[in-house]
A and B are shown apart, each in its own frame.
Chain A
Amino acid sequence: MSELKQHDVAFTVNGKAETLSVSPRTSLADALRDTLGLTGTHIGCEHGVCGACTVLLDGKPVRSCLLFAVQAEGAAITTIEGIGDAQSPHPLQRAFNECHGLHCGFCTPGMIVTLSAFLKEHPQPTSADVREAISGNLCMCTGYQNIVRSALRAAELIEGAKP
């Protein structure tokens, strides 16, 4: 094989424009973590099964381990860091705290990113709806009960915050 070409790729991450030079085989997850230092996106299985690396691509949840960074040209990416922070947490982050929605915390960013998109589409979900929504996110601590409670609580918080 001839020498591998680096590619320039431009996209926005949490609203900030970024231009990176990447090797084709660099996953979006690795680019976010290693190049941009956004280590909130976790890498678990690297084959699309665990959901820990979920980010929003143009508003929709996708696996950042199954997308090469070079493919994200022009996209708007949202990571857990863009969902909320300690100073101004997202209602999901408040609810996960309040309802003990995490044990070790490894799956949490993927859970919250997935649920943030879900709650926009389903503001008044049932417990069954939430289970379906997080069916592609694995929690190896098996703390699902409190994750479901947290999601339902977040829906209440979002509803309560409406004028």
Chain B
Amino acid sequence: MKPAPFQYVAAKSVDDAIALLSKYGADAKLIAGGQSLVPMMNFRLARPEWLIDINRIDGLAGITQQNGMLRIGSLTRYSELEASEAVQRGVPLLRQMLPHIAHEAIRNRGTIGGSICHADPAAEMPVAMLALDATFELRGPSGARRVAADDFFLGQMTTGIEADEVLVAIKIPETKNDERHGFSEFARRRGDFALASAAVVLRFNGGMISDHVRIAVGGLSERAERARKAEALLAGKTLTPTLIEEAAHTASGEVQAGQDLHATEAYRRSLIATQVKQALAVAADRTSSTGAKK
């Protein structure tokens, strides 16, 4: 339960981290909060020869508002997001989801960027990123590029980031007045990884749901994904209990769901129908949708 020996270097800047990644290649891993990487190293599922610490890089953490977007530095810790008024006001769905992530001691270290790059299929953050239309700012030796959350999560712990790139920031559009949202998950114990989780965002046009509908799910298979048939089903309609049932059923049938020692496929499909239903029910309730409740 101790990690294999490795060499340690603290990067001084993002450019320094990129240079170190370019130098050590596949033998290196970046460490941010370390709340997923270190357990994997202790189990020796990960054996990097070099650990590049990005915790000392100035300016990599922090939350700023610009042009209707929230820009969140990749090193921003969950506890900072939880305490942020800008997050509470600007992206209440994210605030609503945060207490579901592990426990306080983990949230005091774990970072938003770390969770996104780790891409654990049962983690909450990728699900929220898909529902919120997040964009990721990556920097590598040849410059910066942006990747939409929709194109980033490729498979189990596999993303669109290159081995010599650093995730610098996450951009999330601020929630509009005519948007409602909800998050729901099922885990065996408080703070455990979700067996099924769902995040929904619905934009309304008058009393009707517009064509901006996002239903993202996680915990079911190799990666978080969107339930696009269920999204299409909701577009242009009035949100009723019957429609919520139908959308939950459609989502449960269309998404990938796997089987492992924690749950059968049938159980996972049953769970996700309930989570989508609950998330939509939260969205239907304006009070919690404005983030006034936890």
Contact = CB atoms under 8 A, between A and B. Distances in A.
Interface in B15-49: 31, 34-35, 38-39, 42-43, 49
Interface of A: 1-2, 4-5, 7, 23-25, 27, 30, 45-48, 51, 54, 57, 60-63, 65-68, 70-71, 114, 118, 132-133, 135-136
Enumerate the 10 nearest inter-chain pairs by beta-carbon distance, A residue then B residue, closest first.
A136-B103, A24-B8, A47-B39, A46-B1, A135-B190, A61-B105, A66-B38, A60-B108, A25-B3, A46-B42
Interface residues of B, number: 29
Q: Which of B4, B8, B53, B55 has the most CB of A within 10 A?
A: B8
B27 to A, nearest CB: 9
Interface of B: 1-8, 31, 34-35, 38-39, 42-43, 49, 51, 53, 55, 79, 102-106, 108-109, 190-191
Nearest to B43: A47
Interface SS majority for chain B: loop
B102 A136 contact: yes
Given A54-B105, A68-B34, A135-B103, 17 more contacts: A5-B8, A7-B8, A23-B5, A24-B7, A24-B8, A25-B6, A45-B1, A46-B2, A47-B38, A61-B104, A63-B35, A65-B38, A66-B34, A66-B38, A70-B8, A71-B55, A135-B190
A1 B4 CA distance: 12
Contacts of B1: 45-47
A109 to B, nearest CB: 13
Given A47-B43, A48-B106, A4 B35 contact: no
B79 A60 contact: yes
Given A46-B42, A135-B191, A63 B109 contact: yes
A136 B39 contact: no
A63 B106 contact: yes
A48 B106 CA distance: 8
Given A24-B51, A46-B42, A48-B38, A63 B5 contact: no
Given A66-B34, A136-B191, A1 B7 contact: yes
Nearest to B53: A71
Given A48-B35, A71-B55, A66 B191 contact: no
B190 A48 contact: no
Contacts of A27: 2
B5 A25 contact: yes
